[in-house]
Amino acid sequence: MIIIMKPGASRSNIDHVIGMIEEKGLNAHLSEGSQVTIIGVVGDKTKLAHSNIEIAPGVDHIVPVTESYKLTNKKFHPKDSVVQVGHVLIGPGTFTVMAGPCAVESREQVLETAQAVKKAGASILRGGAYKPRTSPYSFQGLEEEGLKYMKEAGETAGLPIICEVTSCHALETAVRYVDMIQIGARNMQNFELLKEAGKAGIPVMLKRGLSATIDEWLNAAEYIVAEGNSNVVLCERGIRTFEPSTRNTLDISAVPVLKSKTHLPVIVDPSHASGVRAYVEPLAKAAAAAGADGIMVEVHPCPEKALSDGPQSLTFSDFDKLCRDLAPYAGLAGRRFP
Amino acid sequence: MIIIMKPGASRSNIDHVIGMIEEKGLNAHLSEGSQVTIIGVVGDKTKLAHSNIEIAPGVDHIVPVTESYKLTNKKFHPKDSVVQVGHVLIGPGTFTVMAGPCAVESREQVLETAQAVKKAGASILRGGAYKPRTSPYSFQGLEEEGLKYMKEAGETAGLPIICEVTSCHALETAVRYVDMIQIGARNMQNFELLKEAGKAGIPVMLKRGLSATIDEWLNAAEYIVAEGNSNVVLCERGIRTFEPSTRNTLDISAVPVLKSKTHLPVIVDPSHASGVRAYVEPLAKAAAAAGADGIMVEVHPCPEKALSDGPQSLTFSDFDKLCRDLAPYAGLAGRRFP
Amino acid sequence: MIIIMKPGASRSNIDHVIGMIEEKGLNAHLSEGSQVTIIGVVGDKTKLAHSNIEIAPGVDHIVPVTESYKLTNKKFHPKDSVVQVGHVLIGPGTFTVMAGPCAVESREQVLETAQAVKKAGASILRGGAYKPRTSPYSFQGLEEEGLKYMKEAGETAGLPIICEVTSCHALETAVRYVDMIQIGARNMQNFELLKEAGKAGIPVMLKRGLSATIDEWLNAAEYIVAEGNSNVVLCERGIRTFEPSTRNTLDISAVPVLKSKTHLPVIVDPSHASGVRAYVEPLAKAAAAAGADGIMVEVHPCPEKALSDGPQSLTFSDFDKLCRDLAPYAGLAGRRFP
Amino acid sequence: MIIIMKPGASRSNIDHVIGMIEEKGLNAHLSEGSQVTIIGVVGDKTKLAHSNIEIAPGVDHIVPVTESYKLTNKKFHPKDSVVQVGHVLIGPGTFTVMAGPCAVESREQVLETAQAVKKAGASILRGGAYKPRTSPYSFQGLEEEGLKYMKEAGETAGLPIICEVTSCHALETAVRYVDMIQIGARNMQNFELLKEAGKAGIPVMLKRGLSATIDEWLNAAEYIVAEGNSNVVLCERGIRTFEPSTRNTLDISAVPVLKSKTHLPVIVDPSHASGVRAYVEPLAKAAAAAGADGIMVEVHPCPEKALSDGPQSLTFSDFDKLCRDLAPYAGLAGRRFP
């Protein structure tokens, strides 16, 4: 931590700050410049967590030097992680394709979709049983019944399954059925849920919040890992910007940024990022080219009749084409597909 | 709902869309322009919720005509609501000041603060017992113990109390102690929590999500009201933008926009919006001038030592000055202060 | 400037950075922490402008300590400036109301508007003769003919006039007619125009760019002042965010932020910020309450027929009401109105 | 254009709007729903440009149906354009690599860089002679002298050259030296410059404004094409968001969105989008995978000493590696490289 004093800071202002630092058993290093004085803090800065030095008299602002996330930080854990979900390994060398309907609507729908996506090349089956919907009047999901259909569909097709949970209650139920849980964008900072997911020990895919910075996202992941569960995968799904052509704006740079900041695997969701079926394929290819460890895409037997997110869902035949066209990009990126 | 066809849409594309509409018992009105054809839907459009017309062949895009929130919508409920919290009325004619520490830290802290803010002019005591913190290593709150201190402090000072809840579990506990619950920005779309808050029947202050549009916010409020709880107050607390000078960007326009879209009262939180103590007073005045029904501000006996949000907290003397300087602005706006 | 080294930076990495600093005649102060080493630079950091230390081996990132704008910086020029436009003083103690049509459409229109706004309380007449329009097919302005009408209208009504210039060519012409030029949001970083406006010596109102940070804005103002023209007024006119209810989002916090960072006067434009006539009055009051030195609003004899920005323009009677309702807010803020 | 009336709109409100439409010789189609009435406008809506129907009594809002850009619109010009710059064809089937220093600093620097990038695979040489810099105290470019060096370097290496122009004056000079001009992000809505670039007839690369929507960008391109110059290439260079890890956020979705909305070629600039050297390669690959027609990257003989944008510049050896690694991605996308 570095403290930047105001140009007119007095000697006693500076001494007061040094006192705040030394009182906690830390050392202060002074740099007196022509215009401003800078004070560097040496030692364990967490001891200063409750000293609000930025409002001490004469202080202009403070600059943190190290990130607050530790367990998820590549600086301290340089080796890229591999997360195992059923028999599937997510991480270096593989390209994981998670596919399935946005919402589980019926037993037939998921059974049929599981077969189709497995055949085309998917490695994990996705499907929502608990749906976070903007309006209370939209379809809210089949809940536990949906989880049962997913489990059956996954077992029949030989695919591990992933389902979103939107509350601690849903989490408790889901762990009995699924291989991986998803924490969605709207719950990225639902800290109770993060802690419970950490305790549950099950693999977790944590989506980025609609307007979360990458550092906030890694801090959210830290909540899970700090409970002893290091099986965390991150999923970039688009951020909120001013551009209305797409539902969200896919932050493709997040892939290399995450690869430099954390050891956790990174998945891209081009369906939610764009909200438009025609853009899913180019964005999926971009994800592979940028170094992602996989993608998650929405597939539906009949998108025109989907109860949720139809406009961004691929048909079986779209998805089959996607896999065929995407495979060589994953190959170029040095990854086994699927 | 209006459907805009593509320039080259064929007769059979148009007939297919008309069929999708009529199949649900609705009527289609056709406008054939020189370049494009437009189809208006007449009837209860919720019947079309699961027909994804936007991906039917030949369709360019669809335009919704009416908002999905109904109970919170001023179009259907034109009279401004008054929400009662203890003996305090929030709404037209009053200017409500909620004040207190960001986090409850000790019994003494809240007792002392309650007396000070009451004397200066506050009408409701705030204080956080469950803290949503970006990092798992930050202070997380005293939980039920904190609620007990708050209850005692409120009773002693004669102020109703408001506390944030961050989970359904916290909600269950809190309703036994508090007069109003707060649902924070990070939980604005924690739909499970919204539903439970609706069922609990207790007055709710719903903060705007960090990047929530006003329509999404009103849909979130609709979740609470749809459960039968119409005691909802909205709180603008700044949105996320690219500007780094303030912690968030106070969307002051949200006040008149909400006043035109909904009958629910609107509170402004200048502390979280700016994150800087010196900006709290000008923003509080701006809130009163723009037509807000009140403000929520953070006050601490010693901001330099606050365990959370010290840099934006007012001292007792700052808060006393704020109330004195703010009162004439509330008066000009036709409101009783406090 | 402070240089933060990576955790694994070697001794020779550190020595290389120190060498880069000392080579320019500056001093390096070393703080060796438990995890990272920090190097403070003491001396005139502009000498390092072309040393890209951030990409030297072992460097994590650099942190600037002082702002790059100097002449507009309150740290070095603490006294608030007053800018004189004709007989009007903009700055502490006054509340300036600039009003008039978005675009000059005819001689009659501006003469009539000048009389109406003067009578209601405006102190400066605004009107656009060069219009920056999103589409090339929209009305582009009357150019020099419009300036002539404005000059006549201003003289008749006894009001100084302000007109936007969109190019160096327009600037050359405009200085012969107007009392103050406006540089619009889209040209905030048209550096050629800024320099020419600086050389012209005429008072300049510089609007904030659609997505400019406050520091970028002050750097843009620095371009004008660095040419010897210190008659610069800043105008907050809304920034671009994700919220669609208003044309832009008025950053009301920019008023107190600017008041703490610069000595230049600050005007707020609620018409462009909101794009909606009904929101102009509450936002104008908020501007006065937050400490602005004045407002700029659009007024038109018949908004329904305005060639530009009709939906946000006030009628004469709206504007008259605005001035009457706004005056006591300006008075509370300690300012003479008009 | 569609007009949505308010729920309580009266018969006379509706008749007034119909009158406004018919007065211009257009037809109004009425759809009376259970809650609201909708009025569709049939005919040439540009006739309504100066009728501000949105503020007529009883009108809720209006919805535009067709885009205001026509010549750049794929709906009316479905065939993808090819823009020729010297002997280089930009468009379907080719992948164009523009490379060179951010700023021209000396004759030796550009001659050396031209040889190196040509050898590695670049097809066009870039270099800035007029630099738009945030601070007036930063290096502003060599101007005409820089253009001369660029011309010599391009001729020697056999590469066409592109240079940014920041004013009409710079444009006049530049057309005598360069093969293509660039209009930068800060000047995307410098409409005078756009018109002059249109009249000049020279190929133009138009970068996206920092916070421009794709529709605003296409309207800006329309300014150039409307003057008779259809040799326009668009360049996505990152947009401004809240995320601080990268200088801007590359909107990779803009590539497929533009491919669906316009026939103009699309280039991606990963250097400005990220601002970080290490992210240039993954983003360049993502651009190729998403369907871009090429990239523009910054290359410098010694980035540590670059006068502008050193941290994002590649060394010769970085660039050589980039070309080798990128070529197979361009190949997979069906494009000749270089």
Note down pLDDT in tens along chain A; length 338 residues: 888 888 889 999 999 999 999 988 888 888 887 778 888 888 777 777 777 888 889 998 888 877 889 999 998 899 999 999 999 999 999 999 999 999 999 999 999 999 999 999 999 999 999 988 888 888 889 999 999 999 999 999 999 999 999 999 999 999 999 999 999 999 999 999 999 999 999 999 999 999 999 999 999 999 999 999 999 999 999 999 999 999 999 999 999 999 999 999 999 999 999 999 999 999 999 999 999 999 999 999 999 888 888 888 999 999 999 999 999 999 999 999 97
Cis bond before residue A203 (omega within 30° of 0): no
Could you tell me the CA-to-CA distances from D141 to B149, C217, D144, D178, D190 in Å, in that order? 65, 21, 9, 16, 20
Q: What number is the average pLDDT over the span D61-83?
A: 91
pLDDT at position A110 is 97
Interface contact D33-B44, CB threshold 8 A: no
Question: How many angstroms separate the CA atoms of C218 and C70, rounded?
Answer: 9
pLDDT at position A69 is 93
Is the pLDDT at D204 greater than 80? The verdict is: yes
Cα B8 vs. chain centroid, distance in angstroms?
44
Interface contact B33-D43, CB threshold 8 A: yes
pLDDT at position A94 is 97
Q: What number is the average pLDDT over the span C192-216?
A: 97
* Chains in contact with chain B (at least 3 beta-carbon pairs closer than 8 A): A, C, D
Interface contact D251-A241, CB threshold 8 A: yes
pLDDT at position B42 is 80
Question: How many angstroms separate the CA atoms of B49 and D59, rounded?
Answer: 26
Cis bond before residue C203 (omega within 30° of 0): no
Average of per-residue pLDDT values in chain B: 94
The predicted-structure confidence for B157-204, as pLDDT tens digits, reads as follows: 999 999 999 999 999 999 999 999 999 999 999 999 999 999 999 999
User: Which of D2, D7, D29 is nearest residue B75 as measured by Cβ atoms?
Assistant: D7
Could you tell me the CA-to-CA distances from A23 to A15, A17, A19 in Å, in that order? 12, 10, 6
Is the pLDDT at D191 greater than 80? The verdict is: yes
Token pair recorded at residue B199: 């069922």
Is the pLDDT at B134 greater than 90? The verdict is: no
Best mutation site among A191, A207, A223 for testing chain B: the one with the most B CBs within 10 Å? A191
Q: What number is the average pLDDT over the span C258-271?
A: 98
pLDDT at position D200 is 97
Which chain B residues are closer than 8 Å to D26 by Cβ? none
The predicted-structure confidence for B269-321, as pLDDT tens digits, reads as follows: 999 999 999 999 999 999 999 999 999 999 999 998 888 888 889 999 999 99
Least confident of B313-317, C91-95, D43-47, D209-213: D43-47
Which chain A residues are closer than 8 Å to C18 by Cβ? none
Question: How many angstroms separate the CA atoms of A24 and A26, rounded?
Answer: 6
| Residue D325, beta-bridge partner list | none
What is the torsional sign of CA D212, D215, D217, D219? negative
Token pair recorded at residue D39: 């009025």
Q: CB-based contacts of D55: which residues, under 8 Å, 6+ apart?
A: C277, C303, C304, C310, C311
Report long-range pairs for C105-108 (Cβ below 8 Å, ≥24 apart). Answer: C105/C142, C105/C306, C105/C307, C106/C149, C107/C149, C107/C152
Question: How many angstroms separate the CA atoms of D265 and D293, rounded?
Answer: 6
Q: What number is the average pLDDT over the span C152-156?
A: 98
User: Which of B29, B36, B65 is nearest residue D66 as measured by Cβ atoms?
Assistant: B36
For C241, nearest residue in chain A (alpha carbons): A242
User: Which of C35, C65, C66 is nearest residue A66 as measured by Cβ atoms?
Assistant: C35
Interface contact D43-B29, CB threshold 8 A: no
Could you tell me whether strands A37-42 and A27-32 are parallel, antiparallel, or unpaired per DSSP bridges?
antiparallel
Quickly list DSSP for D262-323.
BSS-EEE-HHHHH--HHHHHHHHHHHHHHT-SEEEEEB-S-GGG-SS-GGGPBPHHHHHHHH
Which chain D residues are closer than 8 Å to B77 by Cβ? none
Interface size between C and D, measured as CB pairs under 8 A: 126
Question: How many angstroms separate the CA atoms of A294 and A284, rounded?
Answer: 9
Q: CB-based contacts of A331: which residues, under 8 Å, 6+ apart?
A: A337
Residue C194: φ, ψ to 5°: -60, -45
For residues D297 and D316, the answer to whether their CB atoms sit within 8 Å is no
The predicted-structure confidence for D106-152, as pLDDT tens digits, reads as follows: 999 999 999 999 999 999 999 999 988 888 888 889 999 999 999 99
Token pair recorded at residue D236: 């996505």
Of A170, A179, A169, residue with least CA distance to A201: A179
- Cα Rg for chain D, rounded, in angstroms? 23
Strand order in the sheet with D27-32: D27-32, D37-42, D2-5, D59-63
Interface contact A31-C29, CB threshold 8 A: yes
Count each helix (H run) and each strand (E run) in chain C, helices first.
10, 14
Does residue D13 or residue C63 have the better pLDDT? D13
How far A27 CA lies from chain C's nearest CA (Å)? 9
Question: How many angstroms separate the CA atoms of D70 and D72, rounded?
Answer: 6
Of A241, A233, A232, residue with least CA distance to A296: A233
Interface contact C63-A241, CB threshold 8 A: no
Interface contact B282-C328, CB threshold 8 A: no
Is the pLDDT at D335 greater than 80? The verdict is: yes
How far B185 CA lies from chain A's nearest CA (Å)? 10
Q: What number is the average pLDDT over the span C14-32?
A: 89
- When pLDDT is cut at 50, 70 and 90, the band that residue D29 belongs to is confident
| Residues found in chain B | 338
Of C211, B281, B309, residue with least CA distance to D238: C211
Does residue C26 or residue D85 have the better pLDDT? D85
> At B42, is the secondary structure helix, strand, or coil?
strand
Interface contact D189-C277, CB threshold 8 A: no
Which chain D residues are closer than 8 Å to A271 by Cβ? none
- When pLDDT is cut at 50, 70 and 90, the band that residue C118 belongs to is very high
Interface contact D311-C55, CB threshold 8 A: yes
Question: How many angstroms separate the CA atoms of D51 and D61, rounded?
Answer: 14
Question: How many angstroms separate the CA atoms of C173 and C177, rounded?
Answer: 8
Of D64, D61, D56, D52, residue with least CA distance to D10: D56
Best mutation site among D24, D190, D277 for testing chain C: the one with the most C CBs within 10 Å? D190
Share above pLDDT 90 across residues of chain D, in percent, rounded to a whole number: 78
Is the pLDDT at C318 greater than 90? The verdict is: yes
Best mutation site among A253, A268, A293, A329 for testing chain D: the one with the most D CBs within 10 Å? A253
For residues D177 and D127, the answer to whether their CB atoms sit within 8 Å is no
Token pair recorded at residue D182: 């660039």
Question: How many angstroms separate the CA atoms of C150 and B52, rounded?
Answer: 54
Cis bond before residue C92 (omega within 30° of 0): no
Token pair recorded at residue C225: 């002042």
pLDDT at position A178 is 98
Q: What number is the average pLDDT over the span C255-280?
A: 97
Best mutation site among A71, A134, A249 for testing chain B: the one with the most B CBs within 10 Å? A134
How far A228 CA lies from chain D's nearest CA (Å)? 28
Cα C148 vs. chain centroid, distance in angstroms?
26
> At C60, is the secondary structure helix, strand, or coil?
strand
For C34, nearest residue in chain A (alpha carbons): A43
Which chain A residues are closer than 8 Å to C75 by Cβ? 6-7
Average of per-residue pLDDT values in chain D: 94
User: Which of C134, C167, C226 is nearest residue D192 as measured by Cβ atoms?
Assistant: C167
Q: What number is the average pLDDT over the span D199-213?
A: 97
List the Cα angle C191/C194/C200 in 5-degree steps.
145
Amino acid at B162: I
Residue C55: φ, ψ to 5°: -105, 10
Q: CB-based contacts of C11: which residues, under 8 Å, 6+ apart?
A: none
Which H or E run includes C152?
A: helix C144-157
Could you tell me the CA-to-CA distances from D317 to D99, D156, D302 in Å, in that order? 13, 21, 11
Token pair recorded at residue D225: 């094409």
How far A64 CA lies from chain D's nearest CA (Å)? 14
Question: How many angstroms separate the CA atoms of C45 and D137, rounded?
Answer: 12
For A246, nearest residue in chain D (alpha carbons): D253
Q: CB-based contacts of A19: which residues, under 8 Å, 6+ apart?
A: none
**pTM value?**
0.94
- What letter does residue C228 receive in the DSSP assignment? T
For A170, nearest residue in chain B (alpha carbons): B192
> At B298, is the secondary structure helix, strand, or coil?
strand
Does residue C205 or residue C131 have the better pLDDT? C205
pLDDT at position C150 is 97
pLDDT at position D178 is 98
Side-chain-side CA neighbours of A108 within 13 Å: the count stands at 2
Question: How many angstroms separate the CA atoms of A85 and A34, rounded?
Answer: 58
- When pLDDT is cut at 50, 70 and 90, the band that residue B114 belongs to is very high
For residues C163 and C182, the answer to whether their CB atoms sit within 8 Å is yes
Of D122, D164, D128, residue with least CA distance to D149: D128
